[in-house]
Structure 1
Amino acid sequence: MCVTLHFYQEVLHNFGTYIRQKWKGKILLPDESTFIDSVSFSFYNQVPASRLVFVESPIVRMKGRKNEVEIAGMKAANKRDSVALCEFLAFMEEEIHAGKEWDEISAAEKLKEFRAEQTLFRGISFETISAFGSNGAVIHYAPSNATKLPIDTSSTYLLDSGGQYLDGTTDVTRTMHYGQPTEFQKEAYTRVLMGAIDLADLIVNNNTVDMQLSLTVRQPLFTAGLSYRHGSGHGIGSYLAVHEGPTLISTSRRAGHLLEVGQFFSDEPGYYHGRDFGIRLETILLVTEASTQYNFDGPYMKFEPVTLVPFERSMIIPELMSSRQLWWLNDYHKTVEQEVGAILKSQDKQQAYHWLTKRTAPIRRAEVAPSVDFSGHSAGGSTIASVCLILLSFVAIRVL
């Protein structure tokens, strides 16, 4: 046997006795890692300095890299969770438009009821951030009786929530507006969405570390002189902690961690405007193998969304987006309609199904002028090419 079990109160004594009497080599103690503190001082104090080695615990990476059973469970849990959230969003929209009274706390409690109807549900994965208007500008806001605001049509409603299921853990954020958003709110929302899409649409090789993704997700906001003061993503546990290492998409860290097939992480850019409103969009992505024409410095990896909840159509300015971003968005919405819509339809939940079909219909923009995406390529390239061909044909006819 390579494992011996002891009562917790015996561990420290047994550890010290073992390394003094039986093990004369180096001792590996876990260094500080993503979301995990370093080893306790009590254990550290048992090891002579000459034999001490501080490295990140290999268990952190093993937990982060999910096996086939965990991957299947996480996908199933996120699909059921998306069904519950779509039901809730359809319900809330109808209630608010009907003039019903809801506040941040009562809405969070109602969402939990929808989640509780799903099989294998064991509770929420963290305290729900249910934030209307100015409260949405507080990044880690938690509603209370002293701070709760009523939800109406006057501003944005930011909802960051998740569930714990026996087969997986979820974490999803969507921002809604039940009235008429301002032009700036729509621009900010669209730029946050563009950054989320740019991250989700990346192809990377196995030398890529998580912190390298930060600039990609922030670029659409940076272009307009906007930003946000939190990380852009974190690892997700499998019926474990909703914040799990090693993945953390942030520039405020000493070193990055390699991305690996089987990891789940959140894609969550945002924007928070003074004391006025907040926007955040969060979708869970799975790192999978990518099939590429060549394989120099490979293998290559791509990201698959497992959160299946549509985005807020009334806050999207399609003319700001590149053709590639719009294609990703419409393809994602098509998947949402197929996967979640099929469940809602089979359960005869007509209100939620009708809401979903409206939210997932294709979004198009007028090709009035070529726009440039943030990789420097012309999003209207095909339009320009067509115009050039027409002009060349006209010149050829005149010459002939």
Structure 2
Amino acid sequence: MHHLMGFSAASARRLWRAVVGGALACLAATASLPSLAEKPLRIGAPLALSGGLAEEGKKQQVAYQLWLERIQAQGGIMIGSAKVPVELVTYDYQSDEKRAQQLAERLITQDRVDFMTAPFGSGHAKVVAGVAERYGVPVIAVASSEPVHNQGYKHLFGTLAPSVGLIDTMIEYFTAQRPGTGTIAVLGRDDVFPKVMATTMSRQAAKAGLKVVYDTLYPVGTMDFSAALTAIKAARPDWIYVTGYTSDLILARKQMADLGVDAPILTMVTGPAYPEFVDGLGPLAENVTSATWWHASQTYSSDDVFGGTQAFAQAVRDRTGKDPDYVHASSAAALVVLQKAVEAAGTRDRAKVRDALAGLDVMTFYGPVKFREDGMNMNRELPIIQIHDGNPVVLFPVPAQASALRLSAK
């Protein structure tokens, strides 16, 4: 028997037993630990569950839960050859921008999430995307406009199509449906997304040959629109176009009625896309038009966990008792595309998943998703809607057409 150098035979045997025993113990311990493949995939999500954006934040939460339940039912996400469980780590950032930023830091540095989603609203999405970019964490935004995507971020992807596509579609449709439309009044909220929807409309309408007879931004928190509305009434436009969040638009519409302000075409972005707009206005919501990124009457079929638009819409109805709007759909789509990118990459490696997102070209229940270089979803035909008899109906595109345009005033 060979001796180990400097050891007696007995000592060598004892050392050999210790080494083998230690190795076996290490193997046993390793076997009992989850491997990297089995370790849950963690997705961080700051949500506005209280404060000014709570309505939208709660819709985001419902959509996330519906996706997660279906993922859990199938045993997780397939990464390579293994099914990996998924955990959603969420916090209420209380609709506060500074808190959104702090929680994004916490999710990455303390909770060790693999990936992130950004909250509803461009301003808050922008700060979360900024944090994620610093750490190289891919982040999917559910509602982000051009000013979020022009920062040069390489890890930000958004499920909404560019605002300019929405606006050009409206201009083309309304001027074709009412050929005498020559003037427009634009009133917009001075806040990231509503502001870009107002300034883009003013620019594109002028390009299309419309005369912009009124063009003003109102401050966040405005409760009295009478000065602006009186000026719009005096200008007698063919088309009145107002941007803001649902509570702004309800207030503005009520004050329009009080002051007798109307036009053949009245558009509010994106109020009529929400059931809350109709609930808050009753008959005053009639004939108000809007454009939206998605509508429950669309008929996309897909191989994602929902299987198609109608199945997704029914899942939301079953959960909430109401039709879904684009916030529900865009939020669920964010997790669907993240899942597809992880599966395509075959790894949770952030850089590889980022590259998979950049190259993604898929059909989902929400419609086609393919990201431009700036991370926005490619332009596609987006629905124009109008409130008819208390319900949003699709006017365009024609395949989903439910009704013809009704003029708000002669």
TM interval, shorter chain, is: under 0.3
Structure number, greater radius of gyration: 2
* Structure 1 length-normalised TM: 0.24
User: Quick check: which one's helix share is greater?
Assistant: 2
